[in-house]
Chains A and B, each alone.
Chain A
Amino acid sequence: NAGVTQTPKFQVLKTGQSMTLQCAQDMNHNSMYWYRQDPGMGLRLIYYSASEGTTDKGEVPNGYNVSRLNKREFSLRLESAAPSQTSVYFCASEQSTEAFFGQGTRLTVV
């Protein structure tokens, strides 16, 4: 029972590089989310997708893009990484008000 799977778990990027964080859920949930977690700031919503084919901006969308490829997968792309994007990124899926989280991706931009 995998739940929500994020890859990679760790990544170091140089400023200006691009990368895509992958997220997949096997619970047939409609809603999926991307958050970033920074010390003392809790989780801040980057983007969310209420259903396949729809995406909406959250609190901190600048510098990110997302793709809801299908019902299972919701990817987060950094086109030109900046040191301010150093963070832990969490993907979540939700059904009937309960959210399930992946283990996180720790990203460092140098």
Chain B
Amino acid sequence: AQSVTQLDSQVPVFEEAPVELRCNYSSSVSVYLFWYVQYPNQGLQLLLKYLSGSTLVKGINGFEAEFNKSQTSFHLRKPSVHISDTAEYFCALGYSSASKIIFGSGTRLSIRP
């Protein structure tokens, strides 16, 4: 069975500091990996996705993630965060188009001025 683990439920950082949100997955088959962001009282929107090819994936708002097959990880990074990045971030996996999309439990990113 496939699963996604987000290791940190909350991550506080200072504005303009770098941040890494951790995600590990478990699957017996090849997967697609995603990061979604949820701003307060809104639905989720896609930040970035890994389907195949280059293991470093760039997304919107300056975020990037690196797929590491040997460590079964897909950590999200940003070199310098802004107050507007305050949100909850979800790692997710799928294994084909139209397959189930399985989400992690989320990481709440709070930015301190």
List the interface of chain A (C-beta within 8 A of B).
Answer: 4, 30-31, 33, 35, 40-45, 48, 50-51, 58, 90, 92, 94-104
Residue in A30, A31, A44, A103 whose beta carbon sits within 8 Å of that of B42 in the complex: A103
B69 partner residues in chain A, CB cutoff 8 A: none
Known: A40-B9, A42-B90, A90-B44. A99 touches B101 (CB 8 A): yes
* Interchain CB contact under 8 A, B32 and A97: yes
Determine the chain B residues whose CB is within 8 A of the CB of A103 once the complex forms. 42-43
Most buried by A among B94, B101, B103, B106: B101
The interface size of chain B toward A, counting residues with CB under 8 Å, comes to 23
Residues of B within 8 A of A (CB): 6, 9, 32, 34, 36, 42-46, 49, 51, 90, 94, 97-98, 100-106
A99 vs B98: C-alpha distance when bound (angstroms): 10
Closest A-B pairs by Cβ, 4 of them: A101-B43, A42-B105, A43-B103, A42-B103
Prevailing SS type, chain A contact patch: strand
